[in-house]
Amino acid sequence: MRIGLDFGTTNSSAAVFDGRCVRLLNIDPRGPEPAIMRSALFISRDGAPFVGREAIDRFTEGNVGREIEYMWRYIGETEVTLAEFGTVIQALYAHVDSNTPGRLFQSLKSHLRDGGFSSTDVFGTRYTLEQLIAVILRIVLQRVEAELGQRVTGLVIGRPVHYALDPAADALAIERMRRACEIAELPPFEFLPEPTAAAFAYASTVQREQRVLVFDFGGGTLDVTVMAVTDRGVTTVLATDGVPIGGDLMDRRIVMGKLLPHFGEGATLGPRRLPLPAILLDHLSEWQSIVDLTQPRYLDIIDEAIRTGNRPKELRALRTLVRENYGLPLYETVERAKVRLSNDRSATIAMHVPGIQFEEVLERWDFERLIGPDVRAVGACVDRALAAAGLSHDEIDVVLRTGGSSRIPCFVRMLAARFGAERLQEMDVFTGVASGLAIAAAQG
């Protein structure tokens, strides 16, 4: 039995094709939609892994609202050579969170291109990035086989057209993903660009020759594929392109562009009215990097800012955000507001928890202002793919939109302006790629 697996930055899904219809597989029994699993991993203090909705729930239940408590802990020894004393054994201690119940990892796929993220310590066990991804892949495979009642003999796994614009970083990401699959001990596997897979799913339904542009816009990347489809559903890839722009980046644009004043932006400190150190607010650009501010050296700066700053309420909100692990809830609130803007002209971003009280109305036009450079970069990517295929906009018969970010209105308008609204067609935004991968797997 061969299956398709879409391991996404934000969500993952798997499917199987029997020659007539695609069957989505329930890989997240705790999720609201079992066929769509959040690409999240939680590792408990005793080393037990949990994925999907359960991973997020365990992190939220054990961390959010819990004030971090640091203590000095012995972590080992090292040899130190001193000119006057020779080589001595030096004990090593570090400040560690003494009562955290576990670590949560999200968007691991987006770090594959980052050579600086090699490994991390999880309660005394060091995991490489590939090993963390392998844990997720192994659990997904186990769930798939349990549902199918048989062994999986092969997989076709989705991959972005480009993990990164830099060829070296792109090659690194491909190799690291391959290594993760090997560590997970997956059966024989191959990679297929995600928009190509979406085109396979569409091609199985057409009965006439068409030129198709697939606009696959997910949590981590935007991928474009231009294909020719025959009346028998045979596909030929004419060109591909992609940029590392996705829904996660849109969330960061909102946080950094609209919410920083609620956490002390603009505050001045002491009688000399010194600005709040930029490094503090820079860390709010991702929920994972907010956790870095829990280091005692940063907490000391925040406490000093509260004592001497002219915006103590907002600075105390920053301290609560950091010390009580509200970074993930903040970003989930922002993501929900972003999704609402696909249908509504405005959405309210609000947090009402002890220590953090704010409401920020985000108008759609303002959101579109924040992501203006990204819209232009995505449009340029579409145009490059067309040029590489040797086609004009008028020669495209159908534009397939898939991926959650493909619903953002300004991107829909951008496509409509180039191709005409009547040519745009939406696939299942979360499982279209998995369906195509399943078809490719059955044909392979």
Which residue has 């922002």 as its token pair?
A: 334
pLDDT of residue 415 exceeding 80, the answer is yes
Model confidence band, residue 42 (pLDDT cutoffs 50, 70, 90): very high
pLDDT digits (tens, 9 = 90+) for 44-94: 988 999 999 999 999 888 777 766 555 444 434 445 555 554 554 444 434
Q: CA–CA separation, 343 vs 34, rounded Å?
A: 25
pLDDT band at 443 (very low <50, low <70, confident <90, very high): confident
3-state DSSP call for residue 126?
strand
- Domain 2-191, CATH: 3.30.420.40
Helix (H, G, I), strand (E, B) or coil at 67: coil
Looking at every residue in the chain, the average pLDDT score rounds to: 89
Cβ 14 vs Cβ 23: under 8 Å: no
This prediction has a pTM of 0.84
pLDDT at 71: 45
- The pLDDT tens digits for 148-200 are 999 999 999 999 988 888 999 999 999 999 999 999 999 999 999 988 888 88
**DSSP one-letter code for 60:** H
Residues 6 or more apart in contact with residue 74 via CB below 8 angstroms: 91, 92, 93
Predicted confidence at residue 92, as pLDDT, reads 41
Q: 111-145, pLDDT tens digit by residue? A: 999 888 888 888 888 899 999 999 999 999 999 99
Of 289, 321, 285, 287, the C-alpha closest to 302 is: 321
∠ CA 96-45-53, nearest 5°, is 115
Chain segment 371-396, per-residue pLDDT in tens: 999 999 999 999 999 999 999 999 99
pLDDT at site 90:
47
Spatial neighbors of 349 by CB under 8 A, at least 6 apart, are: 254, 258, 259, 333, 334, 337, 359, 360, 361, 362
Which percentage of the chain shows pLDDT scores above 90? 70
> Per residue in 279-291, pLDDT tens?
999 999 998 889 8
What's the pLDDT at 72?
A: 42
Give the pLDDT of residue 224. Answer: 93
Considering only residues 71 and 299, tell me which one the structure prediction assigns the higher pLDDT.
299
Domain range list for the chain: 2-191, 260-358
- Spell out a b/e string for 19-34, using b for 16 or more CB atoms within 10 Å of the CB, else e: eeebbbbbbbeebeeb
pLDDT classification of 343: cutoffs 50, 70, 90: very high
Quick count: other Cβ atoms within 10 Å of Cβ 273?
11
What's the half-sphere exposure (Cβ side, CA atoms, 13 Å) at 91? 4
The Cβ of residue 370 has, within 10 Å, a number of other Cβ atoms equal to 17
Which of 272 and 63 is assigned the larger pLDDT? 272
